[in-house]
């Protein structure tokens, strides 16, 4: 099955700093989503981005499907950005399930 790897596993930032999170996947995918999991466990949709670039406020994402990677950019980070960021891809060949990476745990210090 498809393998999803995220890097770095942990990241500590000072408030106001920028960061880039990476997601590599091992095969072609139909769907790629980025999520933020808050301390209460809620997975919040950030982007649905099988290819191309999208922006939403301080966040943006780029997926290069031909090279099998996606990047999530966080600019001017805030303490509320803390949490775990997951990348997930849709393995359509196995029933349309999402396969998640192990996540990047981000901690933004004031």
Partner 1 sequence: ETGVTQSPTHLIKTRGQQVTLRCSSQSGHNTVSWYQQALGQGPQFIFQYYREEENGRGNFPPRFSGLQFPNYSSELNVNALELDDSALYLCASSPRKGVGDTDTQYFGPGTRLTVL
Applying CB under 8 A, among 11, 19, 72, 86 the residue interacting with partner 1 is 86
Determine how β-strand 10-14 pairs with β-strand 104-109.
parallel
CA dist., res. 78 & res. 99, Å (int): 28
Evaluated on CA atoms 38, 69, 74, 44, the torsion sign reads: negative
Residue 83 Rama label (left phi>0; alpha psi -120 to 50; beta)? left
Task: State yes or no: residue 81 binds partner 1 (CB under 8 A).
Answer: no
- Residue span binding partner 1 (CB under 8 A) among the ranges 14-22, 54-62, 64-72, 100-108: 100-108
Question: For partner 1, which is the closer residue by CB, 16 or 52?
Answer: 52
By the rule CB under 8 A, 31 interacts with partner 1: yes
* Residue 76 or 80 with smaller CB distance to partner 1: 80
């Amino acid at each position: 099955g498809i393998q999803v790897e995220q890097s770095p596993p942990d990241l500590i930032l000072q408030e106001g700093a920028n960061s880039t999170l990476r997601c590599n996947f091992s095969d072609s995918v139909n769907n790629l989503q980025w999520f933020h999991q808050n301390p209460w466990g809620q997975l919040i949709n950030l982007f649905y981005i099988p290819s191309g670039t999208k922006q939403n406020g301080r966040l943006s994402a780029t997926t290069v499907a031909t090279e099998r990677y996606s990047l999530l950019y966080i600019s001017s980070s805030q303490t509320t950005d803390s949490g775990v960021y997951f990348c997930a891809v849709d393995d359509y060949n196995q029933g349309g399930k999402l396969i998640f990476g192990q996540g990047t745990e981000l901690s933004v210090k004031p």
